[in-house]
Structure 1
Amino acid sequence: MERIMDVVAEAHRIGGAGVLWPGFDLAAIPILLYGTEEAWLIGHPAPPEGYGHAGEVAGRPVYRGPVRPELAGNTAAPVGGHLTALVNLSDSPPTDPGALARLILHEAFHVFQQTAFPDLPRMDAAALQAMAAYPENDPANNAMAIVENRLLARALEGDPAAPGAFVSMRQHRHRQLVRMDRGDAVVYEQTVEWVEGTPTYVELKAGAPTDGLVERLQTHNLGGRHAAYRRFYDTGAAQALLLDRVAPGWQARIADAGGCLQRLLEESLTEPLPPVNQVVVAEGLAALLEAEQEAEAERQARIAALLRQLDEGPGLAVEIRLPPEVQGLMWDPTNLLTISPGRRLHTRFCGAVGPDGLRVTIHALCLEEWGERGRRFRLRLPGRPEVQRGGRLRIVTEALSVDAPYGHIEEEPGLMRVQLWLSRR
């Protein structure tokens, strides 16, 4: 715990007094770090019941208490009536103290975003719906996005022509999406670049290596890799870094731009944009498109193999149904494969949280499906899990944890069906 508090102190040193972003000061934001058994609440004005004073860090009080039901991943969420930065120390935590300090700053910046810019876009239900239907398996969209990513990488490395070529390619791809009646995808991309790209930019300002960003930009969208979500962390951060060069003080105009980094970059370039046909030829888009068409065939073969594993693999098949009222989701964007609207595969981790402490945590290959009747998870376990009934329904295994106020289980050979509810039926 002493090591963690040292990291928290370092995060305060790095992220104080508007150094990383005008008006952003870590010392003004409650922070909650939690493991599997305990949580530490820092600088909270009204600690919830069960949290007792346990010292001080960076001049702020520290409270120690239980892991609360609403804790889900790394995010910003209300705790005791106050928006708080949540940092999960139990699910693959960073081993590098600097990386953990930057993760704290990333999640704290989410709190700052929502309080300082309440009218700017968020990852709301509409954005999540757009993500679920994003054309990540479209070879043409991926090929054009690969060009964009590479141009952003070259722009960060100092190529003076790359920013304009990036904007030209981005505008062309977005026009194509609009023609396909997918204007929601355009809005979604720009939303995620604001919501996740700017906290990633803050991490870079706090010392994260820029060459790592450049390397990641070279791999996004290849075969649909990170196409639907994770890449926008980096495309947003890259545009923010470019804005530092061409439009110092751009943060003061972000609200007028509706949070759209792309719009600010377009307005800040002084040279005419190159014709998109010139960019297409220079960047070898035709060869990229052919490669992406082949990669998509391989991606579909991988999806088919994973689905066969869920349908025909060894062990016990488990289906978990959630009511539509359960909106809180947990997922790792680095292990996500979208199959079609309303269907996606999680290859490592996913879950859900809901009212009255409802929580489902899955550390296994899982198919997630949803519609008007709610959400369903499908996975396989080596054997029948332990089931506890006694006021609540609990299922506990290494790969699956369920805690729900109400539920029902049906079993037949090789299959367990679990229906969760929020009220008695």
Structure 2
Amino acid sequence: MDFKIREIRTAQGSKKLVRERETYFRLMQQGLSNNQACRIVGINPKTGRRWRNGRSADRKQKAAPPVRPGVPPSDTSRYLREDERIYIADRLREKVTVRAIAGELGRSPSTISREVRRNRHPTNGQYRPFAAQARADARRPRPKPGKIKQNPELRAFVQDRLDLRWSPEQICQALRAQFPDRPEMHVVHETVYQALYVQGRGELRRELAKALRTGRVRRKPRRQAQQRQPRFRDPMVMISDRPAEVDDRAVPGHWEGDLIIGKDGASAIGTLVERSTRYLLLVHLPNGRGTELVRDALVGTVHTLPAHLKRSLTWDQGSEMGRHREFTVATDIPVYFCDPASPWQRGSNENTNGLLRQYFPKGTDLSLHSREDLAAVAAELNGRPRKTLGWETPAERLHKLLAA
């Protein structure tokens, strides 16, 4: 061997280790292990693995492609070339691993794995480079027609469910349940969003975007929650003192509550969500949201529940619950308060309030809605399948609990 072990082993930079790289790969071809070859050349074992795999050891930056004799040089194109596909086919016939091929070509292992999986022969599974190149070229032209646009039956199904104010994810799950053996009717929820959001596609009626929970026609980042710091005359029992059985949602009868506020803060509707079933009750507040009005309305609503569904109520620190102690005396239901600016502690209720804004938009007078209107909205929401319930509806889950 005409190569001497490095005497100075400080960092030399990638350009100053060309001879070391060539010697390292020659030693590897002779059958030495990575540690043995690195010890002879005088480099760190991680450097050897980076050279061999064509990526950095910490996976945070892309490394230069390894130097291997006979390997076609890779350019900066994101697409594999025909000569690279020929090389992949040759190495696969030699039973070389995908990760080793990726290192030799200076590509990501996932690139090679995806190439073999997508472009191999559909029947016998063999990877044929020229056929693979033809398949890749056929898929490359843009723009592509959307799946929803190409299938009138699928488009009609999605449009009908959007008219019923179903979310795209609920629609996709319903498609899989109703057409289990028809993959052409299966889409992911992102496909539905793109059909609505991407301007000019025309795959779905543009007015259907108004049926989305947010009513938006394009994506929008979330905003920070408002901070509230109300004060109560009666001391609050904080959520940290709530029984442990409430957290795991195993025992029904624990509720989360809040108000949705109307125009200029002059009107409101109370919302109660059962944590175990996500069952919704709407509280009619036609005369405002004063503390006495909220107390009386809540008392009247929970009195309609069976005893085993009246265990606790969790609320934020809104001023409307100033008479929480009187509510507890009247109903025997303890009230627990969330920490300031912590809406995730009432996650089920916050999510439900977002759904309700489809029916009760912000900036509208909520006192115009009758008790019958609220009951109809609650029934519609309780009849929607929920992902967190295994695609059962809250009404079905509550019925099972009552039957048991």
Determine if the TM-score, normalized by the shorter chain, exceeds 0.5: no
The TM-score with structure 2 as length reference comes to 0.21
Which structure features the higher share of helix residues?
A: 2
Larger Rg: 2
Which gives a bigger RCO, structure 1 or 2 (Cα 8 Å, sep 6+)?
1
The TM-score with structure 1 as length reference comes to 0.20
